[in-house]
Amino acid sequence: MIDSPNITDAEFKLFQKLIYKIAGISLADSKQVLLVGRLGRRLKHYGLGTFSEYHRMVSAPGAEEELQVMVDLLTTNETYFFREEKHFEFLAKNILAKHPPGRPFDVWSAASSTGEEIYTIAMVLADTLGIKGNWSVTGSDISQSVLAVAKRGLYWLDRTRGLPKDYLRKYCLKGVRENEGSFIISPELRSHTHFMQVNLNTTLPGMSKFNVIFLRNVMIYFDGDTKRQVVERISRQLLPGGYLIIGHSESLNGITDCVKAVQPTIYQLP
């Protein structure tokens, strides 16, 4: 196997600027090895000898498809069901418990990756408001490839980390034949979900407003100015009294005052 070409500091800076321009992501210097590992396969695919050549390729007019491939490779992150589970406990016990019966309840998973977060939310809503209840979950991501995985809702059984067995039994179906060793989210649960490609660093597409927005484990990749812009943009999509939930390693201190802290990582629009 041919090793990936080495990348120079100047070449790495070109990709840092490009991914920041497209997605607002500040790619740390420590991510140089990750970039080489993920983009090196594209250089091999095209028979390119340097990262400069690949940068010229994705920057050229008409290269939108390969540019999307690059974005997918650099923005895809691992996730799992019921990650940071205290947020889902808060959703069930502090938000849904006070929601008027029969009223619509809409949630946006704004960086839903391969779908584990959106289906976790859907399971909590189904368990609390009923599988036939008046609720919906929207999942979005900048990456088309992870959205394709999320829409399908098919996962290998080794991806059940964090997923309670009763939820696995109630809301998932065991894969058969060519899908043996996997499970798929039940059609009834998936009927409450829909997905769309959204770049949080640009003007948002036309969307309804939400009772709760999950914006978790994505702001760690943004600088201060981008965080402020993204949070203000996202907060405008909350209904009055709606909640914004961010990742446990994140904070909005000094970023915005448009939402107020309820407890660490959980904020509310007045």
Tell me: the pLDDT tens digits for 20-39? 999 999 999 999 999 999 99
In the predicted structure, residue 3 carries a pLDDT above the cut 70: no
Q: Using CB atoms within 10 Å of the CB of residue 32, give its burial: 0 to 12 exposed, 13 to 18 middle, 19+ buried.
A: middle
Taking the CB of residue 85, how many other CB atoms lie within 10 A of it? 12
In the predicted structure, residue 68 carries a pLDDT above the cut 70: yes
Full domain range(s) for residue 63:
9-75
Please indicate, yes or no, whether residues 143 and 253 belong to a single structural domain of this protein.
yes
Q: What is the pLDDT of residue 4?
A: 66
Please give the mean pLDDT across all residues of the chain: 93
Which CATH number belongs to the domain containing residue 17 in this structure? 1.10.155.10
- The residue written with tokens 């203000």 in the block is 232
CA 5/CA 10 separation, integer angstroms: 14
Please indicate, yes or no, whether residues 97 and 213 belong to a single structural domain of this protein.
yes
Please indicate, yes or no, whether residues 262 and 177 belong to a single structural domain of this protein.
yes
| E-only strand ranges, 29-185 | 105-109, 135-141, 154-156, 172-174, 182-185
Q: Where do the H-state alpha helices sit in 174-223?
A: 187-190
Q: In what order do the strands lie in the sheet with 135-141?
A: 193-197, 135-141, 105-109, 210-215, 238-246, 266-268, 260-263
Instruction: Report the greatest alpha carbon distance in the chain.
Output: 61
Please indicate, yes or no, whether residues 253 and 119 belong to a single structural domain of this protein.
yes
| pLDDT (tens digit per residue) in 165-208 | 999 999 999 887 877 889 999 999 999 999 999 999 999 998 99
Which CATH number belongs to the domain containing residue 141 in this structure? 3.40.50.150
In this prediction, residues 209-235 reach a mean pLDDT of 94
Q: What is the pLDDT of residue 179?
A: 78
Structure tokens at 201: 């660093």
Percent of the chain exceeding pLDDT 90 equals 83
The residues carrying an active-site annotation are 38, 141
Q: What is the pLDDT of residue 159?
A: 83
In this prediction, residues 101-116 reach a mean pLDDT of 95
In the predicted structure, residue 261 carries a pLDDT above the cut 70: yes
In the predicted structure, residue 114 carries a pLDDT above the cut 70: yes
- Radius of gyration over alpha carbons of the chain, in Å? 20
Q: C-alpha distances in angstroms, 71 versus 5, 58, 96?
A: 20, 10, 36
Inter-axis angle of helices 51-59 and 64-75, to 10 degrees? 120
In the predicted structure, residue 158 carries a pLDDT above the cut 90: no
Length of the chain: 270
In this prediction, residues 138-163 reach a mean pLDDT of 92
In the predicted structure, residue 1 carries a pLDDT above the cut 60: no
Which of 179, 192, 92 has its CA nearest to residue 139? 192
Please indicate, yes or no, whether residues 251 and 218 belong to a single structural domain of this protein.
yes
**Structural domains in the chain (count):** 2
